[in-house]
């Protein structure tokens, strides 16, 4: 991917309103935001109801994703454009999920809902019709877009960077979760040993739009990101890390980037997982040394952390 293929601006969307080949999708923290007024012709997806499994803590099954695609009128010719509030947190999760299930032409409205409002463009409360696609593309997993817990544990020995995109206070372990999100707290604070803290919003300008490519590379390098090495992004529940995944994989065209959607609410709640507090020491990752967990090891077989590291069962 590249910026030209993955990112659109408000003018691009405004020129294509009513185009049956462009499917606009809004994903917000709360669906009520959409119902108060949205980009004309755009559909609403509920992050909890449409982009998650209804029972397990997991992604929806392929047949559930196909039902969503049919509901939105997506077919093989469609260009899907996501946007939302919070500078596209949840919109990026939707884009990542659709790409994970094999949809090719998925794009992001730069700046999201805020950008549309800032330009004084029209909103509507009228919702477009659904169930308009006779058939949708077959959902097929692209496993190299998603990281599971075992792959995260093996990251250091595999030479993969771990990028924790939460706030510095969450990373250090000062907070279990950001204020206002008590339902998303893990059992323990801290971060995965060896991870670098690269807050997701360092990639944004003051207006909430993504920085130009050259500035993105400078900012990310300044936070210790090696753009020549594979990376796994994580946050608290996978939405902010999906934003950073989008920047790295879809905008800067890094081929080996995965989003760990289990993120800290999974890692920080499992018994026996190595946890580090404080500012961190990513040198172990840089040298390829292990973080206390052999490749492919499950939680029960991980070595206990040493010195500045603690474990979830001993804090």
> Which sequence spans correspond to the domains of the chain?
3-143, 146-311
Give the per-residue pLDDT at 287.
38
Q: Which two tokens stand for residue 51?
A: 């982009």
**Is residue 314 within 8 Å of 275, Cβ to Cβ?**
no
In SS3 terms, the chain reads as CCHHHHEECHHHHHHCCCCCCEEEEEEECCCHHHHCCECCCCEEEECCCCCCCCCCCCCCCHHHHHHHHHHHCCCCCCEEEEECCHHHHHHHHHHHHHHHCCCCCEEEECCHHHHHHHCCCCCECCCCCCCCCCCCCCCCCCHHHECCHHHHHCCCCCCCEEEECCCHHHHHCCCCCCCCCHHHCCCCCCECCCCEECCHHHHECCCCCECCHHHHHHHHHHCCCCCCCCEEEECCCCHHHHHHHHHHHHHCCCCCEEECCCHHHHHCCCCCCEEECCCCCCHHHHHCCCCCCCCCCCHHHCCCCCCCEEECCCC
Nearest to 82 by CA among 165, 7, 142, 17: 7
The pTM score is: 0.88
CB 305 within 8 A of CB 275: yes
Which residues are catalytic, by number? Answer: 235
Give the residue-averaged pLDDT of 167-171.
Answer: 96
* Fold of the CATH domain 3-143: Oxidized Rhodanese; domain 1 (3.40.250)
Residues 6+ apart with CB under 8 A from 235: 164, 165, 166, 200, 241, 263, 264
Where is average pLDDT lowest: 113-127, 174-188, 230-244, 245-259?
174-188
Half-sphere exposure of 255 (CA within 13 A, CB side): 1
pLDDT band of 157, cuts 50, 70, 90: confident
Average pLDDT for 10-21: 96
* Cα separation, 60 vs 50, whole angstroms: 8
Assess whether the region 3-143 and the region 146-311 belong to the same CATH fold.
yes
pLDDT tens track for 80-133: 999 999 999 999 999 999 999 999 999 999 999 999 999 999 999 999 988 776
> 79-88: string of b/e by CB count within 10 Å (b at 16+)?
bbbbbbbbbb
**Section 281-301 average pLDDT:** 38
Q: What's the pLDDT band for 281 if we cut at 50, 70, 90?
A: low
pLDDT band of residue 186 (cuts 50, 70, 90) is confident
Name the average pLDDT for the chain: 88
Q: Does the structure show a pLDDT above 80 at 293? A: no
Top-tier CATH class for 146-311: alpha beta
At CA 269, angle to CA 265 and CA 275, rounded to 5? Answer: 95
What is residue 308's predicted lDDT score, i.e. its pLDDT? Answer: 39
């Amino acid at each position: 991917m590249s910026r030209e293929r993955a990112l659109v601006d408000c003018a691009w969307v405004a020129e294509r309103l009513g185009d049956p080949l462009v499917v606009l999708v809004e994903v917000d923290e709360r669906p009520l935001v959409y119902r108060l007024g949205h980009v004309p012709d755009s559909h609403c997806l509920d992050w909890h109801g449409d982009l998650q499994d209804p029972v397990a803590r997991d992604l929806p099954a392929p047949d559930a994703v196909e039902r969503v695609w049919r509901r939105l009128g997506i077919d093989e010719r469609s260009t899907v454009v996501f946007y939302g509030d919070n500078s596209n947190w949840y919109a990026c999760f939707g884009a990542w999920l659709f790409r994970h299930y094999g949809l090719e032409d998925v794009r992001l409205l730069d700046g999201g809902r805020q950008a549309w409002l800032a330009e004084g463009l029209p909103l509507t409360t009228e919702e477009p019709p659904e169930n308009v696609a006779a058939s949708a593309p077959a959902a097929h997993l692209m496993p190299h877009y998603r990281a599971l817990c075992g792959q995260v544990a093996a990251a250091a020995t595999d030479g993969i960077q771990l990028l924790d995109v939460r706030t510095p206070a969450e990373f250090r372990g000062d907070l279990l979760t950001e204020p206002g999100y008590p339902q998303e707290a893990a059992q323990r604070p801290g971060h995965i040993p060896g991870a670098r803290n690269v807050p997701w919003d360092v990639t944004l300008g003051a207006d909430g739009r993504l920085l130009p490519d050259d500035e993105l590379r400078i900012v990310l390098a300044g936070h210790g990101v090696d753009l020549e090495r594979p990376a796994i992004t994580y946050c608290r529940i996978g939405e902010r890390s999906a934003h950073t995944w989008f920047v790295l994989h879809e905008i800067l065209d890094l081929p080996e980037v995965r989003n760990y959607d289990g993120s800290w609410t999974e890692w920080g709640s499992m018994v026996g997982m190595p946890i580090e507090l404080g500012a961190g020491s990513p040198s172990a990752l840089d040298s390829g040394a292990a973080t206390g967990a052999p490749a492919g090891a499950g939680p029960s077989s991980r070595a206990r952390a040493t010195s500045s590291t603690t474990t979830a069962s001993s804090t």
